[in-house]
Chain A
Amino acid sequence: MTHMPNIAEMLSKARECGDPNEFIEYIPYAKMLGVRVDKERGCFHLPPKKSNIGNPTLPALHGGALGGFMEMCGIIHVMLSMDAVAVPKVVDFSIDYVRAGRYQDTFARCEIVRFGRKLVNLSVEAWQEDEAKPIAKARAQMLVD
């Protein structure tokens, strides 16, 4: 973990070249999940990956992998929306699972509800085939510097 470039540098690089995926690659947990930014659709994308399966008989996404993906999207979204110098601290995160998460492409879109001086409130929605049929809805409060 030593000699890593700092996150602010990576973020400004990603902004310059217009590709946030390079920045995402730099966050080990996001890389492990396989989080991508889908520039065409303007949303986040989680391609099917074996290491995100929780129940192999269905097969279904692990609820925690889906939650982790949505939380990660929220953090990346907040960082890309501001001049972040540090990773925002999640104060709380709440997720409602509304449909089964199948082993297939999953997408997420974030919306900042309020950008306060210290706290950011945002909502995240995840879907698979149809954006009108979300598989999970989440909200989070984050502390920003």
Chain B
Amino acid sequence: MAVDLDDVRKLCELMTQANRGDHFHALGIEVLEIFRGGASMKLEYHEDLVGDPATGVVHGGAITALLDSCCGFAASTVLDELGLTPTIDLRIDYMGAAEPHKPIIGKAEVYRTTKNVIFTRGVAFQDDESRPVAHAVGNFVALEPGTFDNFREGVLSAYAKMVAEQGGAA
């Protein structure tokens, strides 16, 4: 049985939105799309992310965080049950500087799944997906069945609470 994509979407939204002040918030990462074997996210430009004040170019580390999240969320869409996939390793190739004052889109896909490892790759781009600013390859752990036995209930109730609070704030 494959994990319900709607549940994965809720988990991703919960992780990126629920915890005010965490790293997702600090970076300004937003989930765009969650689909079977893939995920895309957006990193808004802001001045805290700048690595070189002379040029205003975003530091590669922020792109590493974007692609790590994207590849990790993509990996979680191929699990049997809702769960997290710890990163084993990640390699980023930077092909060019991202243009300042423009968002960066991260898009990742799973290209192979084995019993213990999920193999992913992804790109970060701005206007043209065929000319990425960075390319990533990341491997993730598929933990043993049963590791996330009570995880789904916790995620869904936390998600419902988050939505209720956001609704209340609007």
Contact = CB atoms under 8 A, between A and B. Distances in A.
B162 to A, nearest CB: 12
A64 B22 contact: no
Contact of A92 (B68, B91, B97): B91
Q: Which of B18, B25, B64 gathers the greatest number of chain A CB atoms within 10 Å?
A: B64
Given A62-B65, A90-B60, A93-B92, A51 B25 contact: yes
Nearest to A68: B61
Contacts of B89: 94-97
Nearest to B101: A1
B23 interface: yes
8 contacts: A26-B53, A27-B50, A28-B53, A29-B49, A50-B21, A64-B64, A64-B65, A68-B62
Q: How large is the interface on A (under 10, 10 to 19, 20 to 34, 35 or more residues)?
A: 35 or more
A54 B110 CA distance: 21
Given A27-B51, A28-B48, A94-B89, A67 B22 contact: no
A76 B37 CA distance: 37
Q: How large is the interface on B (under 10, 10 to 19, 20 to 34, 35 or more residues)?
A: 35 or more
Contact of B62 (A26, A29, A93, A94): A29
B64 to A, nearest CB: 4
A144 interface: no
A53 B19 CA distance: 9
B81 to A, nearest CB: 17
Interface of B: 15, 18-19, 21-27, 47-54, 56, 58-62, 64-69, 72, 84, 86-94, 97, 100
A55 B69 CA distance: 12
Interface in A30-77: 30-33, 50-56, 62-65, 67-69, 71-72, 75
A94 B61 contact: no
Interface string A95-126: 11100100000000000000000000000000
B23 A62 contact: yes
A96 B88 contact: yes
A81 interface: no
